[in-house]
Structure 1
């Protein structure tokens, strides 16, 4: 019986470790983001606190935990693509959740955040 509990516990832990990103969020790596920025004008938001050096081309700084306070500065069209980043990724995920709750449906988060951007050798402001 003890063995069965251990097996069930292991299965539950393994299932938790395979957590996938929410279906409303698209992850994008630094190279992909840079290529998109070369081709089109995008809405890029730094959500890291405390404020950090911004990726060149950043449109707005909004603390990840204060999205609702700044909703008047966000695109009116809820289908506009919004690209988010923080230092490493998690604050971008939290900001995306808040944006999704406000009705935004085209959300991207920079995988690895500004650290990945820097490692790839791309510019900051």
Structure 2
């Protein structure tokens, strides 16, 4: 999915999962996003809702694609990978939070 669709979902209160490192997250993230670094995701799947749409973002789209696959393999449905990640988000001029 593209960042404009993510922005609409974020504005509607959907669950946004950021799988970057804490340092990257601190530099700027989508408001309301939940930080759960990719390397910790398999051990912390219980922190990701089972009954909601999940929008997954990282820096460029690579880690979020991996995380989306992990979530799908764990039985999560309605998982959306954000194309271009935070790079595309900031390039589109969308707001970030620190």
Alignment of 1:48-87 (within 5 A): 48-49=20-21, 51-52=23-24, 53-58=28-33, 60-77=34-51, 80-87=52-59
Corresponding residue for 1:33? 6
Unaligned runs of 5+ in 1: 1-27
**How many residues are paired up?**
94
TM-score (normalizing by structure 1): 0.69
Higher Cα radius of gyration: 1
Runs of 4+ in 1 over 6 A off after TM superposition: none
Q: How big is each residue's C-alpha offset from its partner over 1:45-102, in whole Å with a ceiling of 9 and x where there is no partner?
A: 10013641221121x111113212212211143xx21000000000000001111111
The 3 A distance-change label for structure 1 pair 117 and 81 is: same
TM-score (normalizing by structure 2): 0.86
Residue 102 (str. 1) matches residue 74 (str. 2): yes
Q: Secondary structure at the match of 2:80?
A: strand
Greater RCO between the two (CA within 8 Å, min separation 6)?
2
